[in-house]
Chains A and B, each alone.
Chain A
Amino acid sequence: MSGSIQDTFFEECEELLEATDEGLTAIEGGDHDPEIVNAIFRAVHSIKGGAGAFGLDDLVAFAHRFETVFDEVRAGRMELDGKLIQLLLRSSDHLSALVEAARDGGQIDEAHHDTLLAALDEYIPEEEEDLTFEPMGLGAPAPVTDLGIMPATPAEPQQETYRIRFRPLKEMYGTGNEPFFLFQALRDMGDLTVKLDETELPGFDAMDMSESYLAWDITLVTKDSRSIVEAVFEFVEGLCELSIEGDGDAEAEANALAALDAMFSAPAAPPAADAAEGEAPAVPFEPPVPAPEPEAKPAAAEEKASAPKAESGMQEQRGGPKPTLRVELERVDRLINAVGELIINHSMLAQQIANLDVSDTRDVETELEGFKNLARDIQEGVMAIRAQPVKPLFQRMARIVREASAATGKTCKLVNEGENTEVDKTVIERLSDPLTHILRNAVDHGVEKPEDREAAGKSKVGEIRLSASHRSGSVCIEIKDDGAGVNRPRVKQIAIEKGLIPENAELTDGEIDNLLFAPGFSTAKEVSNLSGRGVGMDVVKNAVTGLGGRINISSTPGKGSTFTIILPLTLAVMDGMVVSVADQTMVVPITSIVETMRGSDDMINSLGADGTLLSIRGNFVPICDVAGSLGLYRESDRQAGVYLLVETETGQRCALAVDDIHDQRQVVIKSLDGVCGEIAGVAAATILGDGKIAMILDPESIIAASPTAAAFDTERRMSNAS
C-alpha cells in the first residue's frame, strides 16, 4: 500500500519541484509577487511533509532549511537579492537531485550538499530551533506503543491506579473538545470511575451559560503508563485544571525530590506524603489560566483582514486547475494499440468490401466512411491523452544550463519559448538526453567566456533560447545560442586530422557545420567535465533519428548557432501515402511530400552518366528511383512513372520515382527496433488492410543515398555560391 503512495509522492514531488523552479525563475526575472514566494514555500513544505512520512531524512532536513529561508523571505525579514536567488536556484536543483536519489537509490554529492546547507544556514537566524522531525509511521515499526493503542508493551506492566482531577475552563468548550470523549478514551485503557463534582454550580438564576462550572474526579486503573494517560489530555493542555496522580507517584516523586535536594542541598522539601494523599493542591502540568489566549483570536482575525487576498493568485485561483485523472501509461498504451488495430481493421473491412462481387456497395461505403471518421476521432482523442506540454522538460533544461554554466565559469541564461506546445509523452521523455547534450554543448562550446563576450561587444551573459512549436504535423524544437558560432576552420581541421574528410576537400559552410554530427567528432581541445563524456553530437543525431526526427545546425560566425530538431507529434500513427515500388507496397509519410505528379517523357532530362532530372514548371529536380536505391528489382517491365516531390530539411528537393500511388491513409507505425537492424531508407513498418506488412520509407535517407541527388545538390550549391 505504502509503495503506491510513495510513487504518488514522487510524482507529486516532480510537480512541486516544477512549481518551485517556475517560481524561482519568475523571481529571477524580477517578478516580486508575494504569492510566488508563498507558492514556493508551500511546494517545498509539501515535499518536506511527504518526505517525512517516508522517513527520507536527508530530503526532510534539506527541504526544511530551504523552506526556513523562504519563511524568512515570506515574513519580509529578508531581501531576495541576486546572490540569494542564485543560491535558491542551486538549492532547488539539489532538492531535485535529492528526490531523484531517494527515488532511484542513487548517491548524492555530499560535498555539494554540505556546501549548500552551510550557505543556506547563513540566511537562517540563530534562534531557529533544531529540526525535531522523527521519522515515524509507514514502514518502520512505529514508536507509537507508548501512545496507548498497541495493547502490549514489552516489559510486563504493572496495574496502577490514577486519580485524575479534571476541571475544564470555559475556553476548552470553544475548541471542540468534549470531556465525554476524553473519558471514553480513558475507559478504553482500563477500569474507569468518573464522579461529577458539581459543587461549583451556582443557583439556576446566577448561572452564566458561557461559564464552565463542572469538574470531575476520575479514577483509572490501568496498565498503561503515565505518559499515555497524560496523552489523553494533550489537546486540552492549558484549557483546564488538571492533576494526575498515580500510586507510584509518591515514591517516584520522593526519589526525584531527594535527588533534587542532593543536587542543590536545599532545605527539606515539603513532605512527599502530601502528594500521595490525593487531596493535595492540584499540580496542573500547564498553568491553569490559559495564557494570552483572548489576544490570539483578534490578532489572527486582524492578520486575515489585512492580507485578504494574499493567498490567492497565480494559476491557483479557484477553478483554475482543471480536474485531472492520473492513469498508468501502460493503460494508455494498450488503448493506443487497440485503436491502431481498429484502424487496421477498418482498412481490412474496406478492402473486403471492395473485393466483394456486389453491384451496389454505396450504402456500406457510406457507413464505412462513418466508421473511419469515428476511428480517427478516437485515435485523436487517445493521442491527446498522451500529449503533454514540453514545459517540465524545458524547466529541467534550465537546471542543466545552470549546472553547465557553473562548471564552465560562464554566465548563461536560458529563455524558454512555446513551453505549452504539446507533444507525445514518449517523445518528450526521449528528447531529454539529446536536449541535455545540446544545451551542455551550447554552454561549453557555443557561448564565449564573459570577457570574450564583452570584447565582442555583447552582453556578458550568454543567452540560450529553447523554443518549441508545431509545424505542420511535426514538432519543431530549436536551441539557439548567441555565442561565437561554429569555428569552421577548426572544425574542418579536426575533421581532416581525424580522417573524416580528405585534406583537400571543398566543403560548403553547411557541410562543415554538419561535420559536428559525424561519428567520433569532438571539438573540445581537452576532455572537459561537461561534454567530454565520450559522447558526441552523433549520439544526439542518432537519438533524434531514432524518434523519426531530424536535426539540423545552422551557424553564423560571431552571432551564434541554432540547432533545429523536427520530430513527429506521435510515435504511433501517421498519415501516409500508399505507393507501390517494384511490386511492393510501401508507405511514404505525408509530411515530407510537397506534391505528386505523373511524369511524361518530355519532363525527364538526363544528367551525367545515368542521372535524370525532372523538369517541373521550369525547375529541375533530381529524380531518385526508390526501387533502385532500396536495391529492389522489378519483375514487370513497368517503369516508374509517378513522382513524389519531397523536400528535405535543408531545403533540398528531390523527386522520388515510384510505380503507382494507391491511397492516402492513416497507418499504424510498428517499430522495427529489435526486429531487424537499421535499414537505410526504411523508417518503420505498418500493417495494411489485407494484413500484409508494408515498409514505411524515410525519404531523407533515400535521398542522402542517391548519387544523382547528391551530385545535383553540390552543383546547385556551387551555382548558388558563385
Chain B
Amino acid sequence: MKTKVLAIDDSRTIRNLLAATLEEAGFEYHCAVDGREGVDMYPNVDPDVVITDINMPNLDGFGVIEELRGTGINSKVPILVLTTESAPELKSRARGAGATGWITKPFDDASLIFALKRVTGAAA
C-alpha cells in the first residue's frame, strides 16, 4: 500500500514540484487547489498525511487544520504545514490549531520525504 498524500496549495508550481517529488519517492499523490477543496476532498481521498499551504483563497491553511481536527471530520491524520515563513508565532499558531509539523518552502526533496516518514512511518 502506497502512502497517500493530500497536498493543498494554490500555487500550480508548488503542486507540480510536490507531485514530482512525491511520486518519485513512491507516494500516492492527490492535490487540491485551495483549503475549501482540500477539506471537501479529504473524506474521498482518505489520505495518510496532509500537506497544506497557509496562504490560500477560500479557506487558508489554519482553516484547513481546524476543520480537519474539528468535530465534523475529527481527523487524527498528520498535517504538515508548507510555508515560506519560519516565524515562530506562525509555527505555534499552526500547532495550536493541531498541525503535526511544518516544512519550509522552498523545500528540498530529501527533507520533505524525511518529514513525511517521520509523521507517517511510511516506508515509501
Query: Is chain B a partner of chain A in the same complex?
Result: yes
**Chain A residues within CB distance 8 Å of chain B:** 1-2, 5, 8-9, 11-12, 38-39, 41-42, 45-46, 48-50, 52-55, 129, 132-138, 142-144, 147-150, 174-178, 180-182, 184-185, 188, 231-232, 234-235, 238-239, 291-293, 295-297, 299-301, 304, 311-312, 316-318
A-B contact pairs, 25 of them (CB 8 A): A12-B13, A46-B11, A53-B13, A129-B87, A132-B86, A136-B106, A137-B109, A144-B109, A144-B110, A147-B111, A174-B98, A175-B98, A175-B101, A176-B99, A177-B78, A177-B119, A181-B119, A181-B121, A188-B117, A235-B115, A235-B119, A300-B93, A311-B58, A312-B58, A318-B58
B108 at the A/B interface (Cβ < 8 Å)? Answer: yes
B residues less than 8 Å from A188 (CB atoms): 117
B11 pairs with A12, CB closer than 8 A? yes
Q: B123: nearest residue on chain A (CB-CB)?
A: A184
A residues less than 8 Å from B121 (CB atoms): 178, 180-181, 184-185
From B20, B77, B86, B106, give the contact of A49 (CB < 8 A).
B106
A185 pairs with B95, CB closer than 8 A? no
Once bound together, how far apart are the Cα atoms of A185 and B78, in whole Å? 15
A residues less than 8 Å from B36 (CB atoms): 318
Once bound together, how far apart are the Cα atoms of A295 and B76, in whole Å? 21
From A134, A147, A235, A299, give the contact of B110 (CB < 8 A).
A147
B111 pairs with A39, CB closer than 8 A? no
B55 pairs with A41, CB closer than 8 A? yes
B97 pairs with A296, CB closer than 8 A? yes
Once bound together, how far apart are the Cα atoms of A318 and B57, in whole Å? 10
Residues 47-104 of B contacting A (Cβ, < 8 Å) = 55-60, 62-63, 66, 69, 75-79, 84, 86-87, 92-93, 95-102
Q: B83: nearest residue on chain A (CB-CB)?
A: A49
A177 pairs with B100, CB closer than 8 A? yes
From B13, B99, B111, give the contact of A8 (CB < 8 A).
B13
Q: B59: nearest residue on chain A (CB-CB)?
A: A311
A residues less than 8 Å from B114 (CB atoms): 147-149, 185, 231
Q: How large is the interface on B (under 10, 10 to 19, 20 to 34, 35 or more residues)?
A: 35 or more
A175 pairs with B95, CB closer than 8 A? yes
B118 at the A/B interface (Cβ < 8 Å)? Answer: yes
Apart from A132-B86, A296-B92, A311-B63, what are 18 other A-B pairs with CB-CB below 8 Å? Answer: A5-B20, A8-B16, A12-B13, A45-B84, A49-B84, A50-B13, A134-B106, A137-B109, A138-B17, A142-B111, A174-B98, A175-B95, A176-B75, A176-B119, A177-B100, A180-B121, A181-B117, A235-B118
Once bound together, how far apart are the Cα atoms of A297 and B97, in whole Å? 6
B residues less than 8 Å from A45 (CB atoms): 55, 84
Q: A149: nearest residue on chain B (CB-CB)?
A: B110
- Smallest beta-carbon distance A140→chain B, Å: 9
Once bound together, how far apart are the Cα atoms of A311 and B117, in whole Å? 32
A50 pairs with B14, CB closer than 8 A? yes
A144 pairs with B11, CB closer than 8 A? no
A53 pairs with B111, CB closer than 8 A? no
B residues less than 8 Å from A52 (CB atoms): 84, 105-106
Once bound together, how far apart are the Cα atoms of A46 and B33, in whole Å? 12
Once bound together, how far apart are the Cα atoms of A181 and B117, in whole Å? 7
A residues less than 8 Å from B102 (CB atoms): 235
B100 pairs with A136, CB closer than 8 A? no
- Smallest beta-carbon distance B38→chain A, Å: 12
- Smallest beta-carbon distance B46→chain A, Å: 15
Once bound together, how far apart are the Cα atoms of A86 and B14, in whole Å? 30
B100 pairs with A5, CB closer than 8 A? no
B residues less than 8 Å from A143 (CB atoms): 108
A residues less than 8 Å from B99 (CB atoms): 175-176
A142 pairs with B108, CB closer than 8 A? yes
- Smallest beta-carbon distance A73→chain B, Å: 14
Q: Which of B57, B66, B87, B110 has the most CB of A within 10 A?
A: B57
- Smallest beta-carbon distance B25→chain A, Å: 10
Q: B11: nearest residue on chain A (CB-CB)?
A: A46
B92 pairs with A293, CB closer than 8 A? yes
From B14, B58, B110, give the contact of A316 (CB < 8 A).
B58
- Smallest beta-carbon distance A548→chain B, Å: 35
With A42-B57, A149-B113, A296-B97 known as contacts, the answer to whether A176 contacts B14 (CB < 8 A) is no
0/1 interface trace, chain B 1-34, chain A, CB 8 Å (1 if under):
0000000001111101100100000000000001
Once bound together, how far apart are the Cα atoms of A9 and B114, in whole Å? 25
- Smallest beta-carbon distance A299→chain B, Å: 8
Q: A54: nearest residue on chain B (CB-CB)?
A: B106
B residues less than 8 Å from A295 (CB atoms): 96
From B62, B63, B100, give the contact of A176 (CB < 8 A).
B100
- Smallest beta-carbon distance B115→chain A, Å: 8
B57 pairs with A304, CB closer than 8 A? no
B12 pairs with A8, CB closer than 8 A? yes
- Smallest beta-carbon distance B69→chain A, Å: 8
Once bound together, how far apart are the Cα atoms of A677 and B59, in whole Å? 58
- Smallest beta-carbon distance A130→chain B, Å: 12
B42 at the A/B interface (Cβ < 8 Å)? Answer: no
Once bound together, how far apart are the Cα atoms of A318 and B34, in whole Å? 10
A residues less than 8 Å from B13 (CB atoms): 5, 8-9, 12, 46, 49-50, 53
Once bound together, how far apart are the Cα atoms of A102 and B62, in whole Å? 32
B92 pairs with A5, CB closer than 8 A? no
A residues less than 8 Å from B108 (CB atoms): 136-138, 142-144
B118 pairs with A297, CB closer than 8 A? no
Q: Which of B56, B76, B84, B109 has the most CB of A within 10 A?
A: B84
Once bound together, how far apart are the Cα atoms of A99 and B76, in whole Å? 41
A residues less than 8 Å from B87 (CB atoms): 129
B57 pairs with A5, CB closer than 8 A? no
B20 pairs with A1, CB closer than 8 A? yes
A176 pairs with B78, CB closer than 8 A? yes
With A12-B13, A181-B121 known as contacts, the answer to whether A301 contacts B110 (CB < 8 A) is no
Once bound together, how far apart are the Cα atoms of A65 and B92, in whole Å? 24
A176 pairs with B77, CB closer than 8 A? yes
A residues less than 8 Å from B66 (CB atoms): 300-301, 304
Q: Which of B20, B109, B114 has the most CB of A within 10 A?
A: B114
Once bound together, how far apart are the Cα atoms of A142 and B106, in whole Å? 11
Once bound together, how far apart are the Cα atoms of A9 and B14, in whole Å? 8
Once bound together, how far apart are the Cα atoms of A5 and B76, in whole Å? 32
- Smallest beta-carbon distance B2→chain A, Å: 17
From B96, B105, B120, give the contact of A297 (CB < 8 A).
B96
Q: A298: nearest residue on chain B (CB-CB)?
A: B96
A185 pairs with B16, CB closer than 8 A? no
B109 pairs with A181, CB closer than 8 A? no
A234 pairs with B101, CB closer than 8 A? yes
B residues less than 8 Å from A180 (CB atoms): 121
Q: Which of A46, A134, A184 has the most CB of B within 10 A?
A: A46
B residues less than 8 Å from A144 (CB atoms): 108-111
- Smallest beta-carbon distance B70→chain A, Å: 9
From B59, B78, B96, B101, give the contact of A296 (CB < 8 A).
B96
B residues less than 8 Å from A175 (CB atoms): 95, 98-101
A residues less than 8 Å from B79 (CB atoms): 176
With A147-B114, A185-B118 known as contacts, the answer to whether A235 contacts B101 (CB < 8 A) is yes
B residues less than 8 Å from A136 (CB atoms): 106-108
Q: B89: nearest residue on chain A (CB-CB)?
A: A296
Once bound together, how far apart are the Cα atoms of A581 and B78, in whole Å? 77
Once bound together, how far apart are the Cα atoms of A292 and B92, in whole Å? 9
Once bound together, how far apart are the Cα atoms of A232 and B36, in whole Å? 31
- Smallest beta-carbon distance A708→chain B, Å: 60
Once bound together, how far apart are the Cα atoms of A137 and B20, in whole Å? 13
